[in-house]
Amino acid sequence: MSIEPIIGQYVTVKVAGTLRRIYFEAAGQGRPVLCLHTAGADTRQWRHLMNDAEITAQNRLIAFDMPWHGKSLPPEGFQTDEYMLTTEAYIETILAVVDALSLDKPILAGCSMGGRIALQLAALNAERFSGFIAIEASDFQPAWYDIDWFHRPDAHGGEMGAALVSANISPFAPEAERWNTLWMFMQSGPGVFRGDLSFYTRDDSLIARLGQIDTTTTPVHLIVGAYDLTCTPEDARRTADAIPGATLSVMDELGHFPMSEHPEGFRPFFIDALARMHASHSKAA
Amino acid sequence: MIDIFRALQEQLNQTPHLLRLGRLFSETVLIEVEGQEFYLTFEKGHLLDIAQGPSRKTPWRFALRTDADALQQFWQARPAAGFHDIFGLVKIGRGQIDGDILCLVKNLRFFKEFMGLARPKTGSAA
């Protein structure tokens, strides 16, 4: 029996004029690293890295559940609203959390839609961060599926979403972590995965902004798994090529949820990414 | 190929959790392998019948069309990227899925795990 070092707390911030009670977890000390979960999931995706003593010896990892996700409640009145995540609301939420937690230029690490918004912030609000780790992130991914499948009264959107995203998990992933990863999708609230996918599959505004990212002051490193059918290595390569100075690592045996589906396999790539942030930051300084 | 589907039928009968997941699944699925048609008729999660085509009279709900080599790679314990999932086959241009896709998606875990039954047990892909 052991008690994990992860500490969970709540903070209330204002986004789009309304209060959001946000759950966040933190572990470690030193350089702050703000971690963003994927669509349809929550902070638990980061628990393996947050429990990694070698990583947390010099990095303070902070992860939060987006409103509607995990232990963060939707805002008052959600019962009559249609949840559709937008780039603007996503950015406002992240910056509100950075302010509320007094994070001084954290590294921003995001996966999937979290990686997409990390690149948006690299383009639009780089001065608030010291570097960006964009995991399974690309400029734009139109949906080959109908996002409305995942919010309908005659079927369980969470179970369908989990079955769909299982296509993005590597067969090298340990069985237990494959299913822990899928469980989060199964638990996702009604319409939440759909609302996240709306942002991910319909907003292509990042494409025109990639060229304005300045990696000399804020390094950008992309990481992509070969088994990711959603953001393929080709998608990540195209995106990295459009960002002057960005770097890319391809993980041959991992998929779309690397920190969650196969933590041991992802670990060296994340440590390498953190080192790139440090090296580039020092060089720029 | 039909021997493999018969083996899948047998394995399905010995996989209680899939029979439970498929308890509301009573449909005919067309699997087409290099033009050869196989009509798999499920009844409440059990695979009742495997009929070889061609047939213009057999209604089916959704279809997976692929080639024999792609299926052999799909049935590896740890398939190469793209061959690890039925939608991966589509993504890499080695498969086509058509028909009532929503019906497939509603029963996606059941159908993907059914198709994966031919994999050696050491694999974790579904």
Percent of chain B's residues with pLDDT above 90: 94
For residue B22, the SS3 value is coil
Chains A–B, number of C-beta pairs less than 8 Å apart: 53
Residue A1 has pLDDT above 80, yes or no: no
Q: pLDDT tens for residues A163-180?
A: 999 999 999 999 999 999
Evaluate if residue A26 carries a pLDDT over 80.
yes
Distance CA A219, CA A208 (A): 19
Alpha helices in chain A (DSSP H): 47-50, 53-56, 87-100, 113-124, 157-165, 175-187, 192-202, 233-241, 258-261, 263-284
In this structure, is the dihedral angle defined by the CA atoms of residues A242, A204, A115 and A157, taken in order, positive or negative?
Answer: negative
Mean of all residue pLDDT scores within chain A: 96
Contact flag B108-A164 (C-beta cutoff 8 Å) = yes
| CATH number of this structure's domain A7-284, picked from the four choices 3.60.20.10, 3.40.50.10190, 3.40.30.10, 3.40.50.1820 | 3.40.50.1820
The ipTM, to two decimals, is: 0.94
Q: Quick one: average pLDDT of A68-91?
A: 96
**Measured between CB atoms, which of A163, A164, A172 is closest to B78?**
A172
Q: What percent of chain A has pLDDT over 90?
A: 95
Task: State residue A28's pLDDT score.
Answer: 98
* pLDDT 10s digits, A234-267: 999 999 999 999 999 999 999 999 999 999 999 9
* pLDDT of res. A282: 41
User: Which of the residues A146, A147, A156, A160 would you substitute to probe the B interface, choosing the one with the greatest number of B C-beta atoms within 10 Å?
Assistant: A160
Can you list the pairs that A249-253 forms with residues at least 24 positions away whose Cβ atoms lie under 8 Å?
A: A249/A221, A249/A222, A249/A223, A249/A224, A249/A273, A250/A224, A250/A225, A250/A226, A251/A223, A251/A224, A251/A225, A251/A226, A252/A226, A253/A170, A253/A172, A253/A225, A253/A226, A253/A227
User: Is pLDDT of B67 > 80?
Assistant: yes
pLDDT digits (tens, 9 = 90+) for A39-66: 999 999 999 999 999 999 999 999 999 9
Q: Nearest by CB to A171, from B79, B102, B106: name it.
A: B79
Q: Order of strands across the sheet with B46-52?
A: B46-52, B36-43, B28-33, B62-66, B95-99
User: Is the pLDDT confidence value at B24 over 90?
Assistant: yes
Angle in degrees, CA A117, A123, A127, rounded to 5: 100
Sketch out chain B's domains with CATH numbers. Answer: 2-116 (3.30.1050.10)
Name the residue with higher pLDDT: A104 or A283.
A104
- State the pLDDT at residue B122: 63
Taking CB atoms and an 8 Å cutoff, what residues of chain A touch B123?
171
Q: What is the pLDDT of residue A109?
A: 98
Average pLDDT on A192-209 reads 96
- On whether any CB of chain B is under 8 Å from the CB of A153, the answer is no
- For position A283, what pLDDT does the model report? 39
pLDDT score for A144: 83
> What are the boundaries of each domain within chain A?
7-284
**What pLDDT is attached to residue A205?**
96
A206-216 mean pLDDT: 97
Q: How confident is the model at residue A152 (pLDDT cuts 50, 70, 90)?
A: very high
Q: Is the pLDDT of residue B95 over 70?
A: yes
The Cα–Cα gap between B24 and A92 comes to 44
Q: How do the residues of chain A divide into helix, strand and coil, expressed in percent and rounded to 5? A: 45, 20, 40
**pLDDT at A278 (0 to 100):** 67
Query: Which of B77, B84, B108 shows the shortest C-beta gap to A227?
Result: B84
Are A65 and A42 in contact, with CB atoms under 8 Å apart? yes
Cβ-Cβ contacts under 8 Å, B102 against chain A = 146, 149
